[in-house]
Structure 1
Amino acid sequence: MKLPVPVADFYRTHARPALDASGQYLYDLTMPDGAQLRIFTAQAAIQLNDDLDVEEQLPGFFAVGNDAGDDILCVKIDTGEVVQVPMSPMDAIEALHVADSLSQIVADGVE
């Protein structure tokens, strides 16, 4: 699976070692509103998309992490906007705006 352009650009500019021994998390952030957001490494994000069949379930989105709960963090491929989507049911109608970009999440969050 090839990374969508806005996602690939983020990983290129925010390259760093994983935070955990499993190599899953790139960022584990607390947002100003208290929300917990985890951005996965590129490999873990690709695996997440395969495991959840995101390409078929949420066309036009690419999963990049989670909220440390039952929602996944996705990037809208055409705009780079980051949204939070419930894993069940996984439906774009339920998507909630989180940020204009992954870079904005990293800038606004606290590790």
Structure 2
Amino acid sequence: MGEPVDPQNPEFIVAFLNAIDFELPNNYLIELPTHADQVFDFEEGKYLELWALVDLIKINHDYNADENYPGFFLIGTDDGGEACAIEKKTGSLYIIPFIGSLPEDAIFVGNSFQELMEYLNQPW
């Protein structure tokens, strides 16, 4: 078994940034959970699970994200058929359907994690 990955290790960060095909906004490295998924359970039944940074490359590969969600990088799920994703071109955050049509069905939720949280705190 290999050594555990330390996502706060500068070498891991450099390898992660080199492995993705877009420029990740700097503040996202601070906001994304590093070791374990982070769950947000909001009033009104809204829910978001942000996947751990150490798992993002594999998850995007497993979902065949480049083909199925072109222009987006998946970072989490609402466990209800939708993903939370970063638009590669702009760095903006979207809720996108796991099954649907992009970009028509993509819902813009903000330009930062703070705006994402504000969106999720709004009533249905």
Structure 1, unpaired ranges of 5+: none
Q: Does 1:83 align with 2:94?
A: yes
Is this contact kept in 1: 2:33–2:52, CA < 8 A? no
Which has the greater radius of gyration? 2
* TM-score normalized by the length of structure 2: 0.65
Q: 1 or 2 for the larger relative contact order (CA 8 Å, sep ≥6)?
A: 1
**What is the Cα-based RMSD across aligned positions, in Å?**
2.8
What corresponds to 1:99 in structure 2?
Answer: 110
Deviations 1:28-72 (A, max 9, x none): 123576521111111222222111111112221100000122111
The letter of the residue matching 1:5 is E
Aligned partners of 1:40 and 1:15: how far apart in 2? 8
Give me the identity figure in percent. Answer: 18
Any conservation in 1 of the 2:109–2:115 contact (CA below 8 Å)? no
Matched letter for residue 31 of structure 2: H
Unaligned runs of 5+ in 2: 1-15
Comparing both structures, which one devotes a greater share of its residues to strand? Answer: 1
Q: CA deviation at 1:15?
A: 6.4
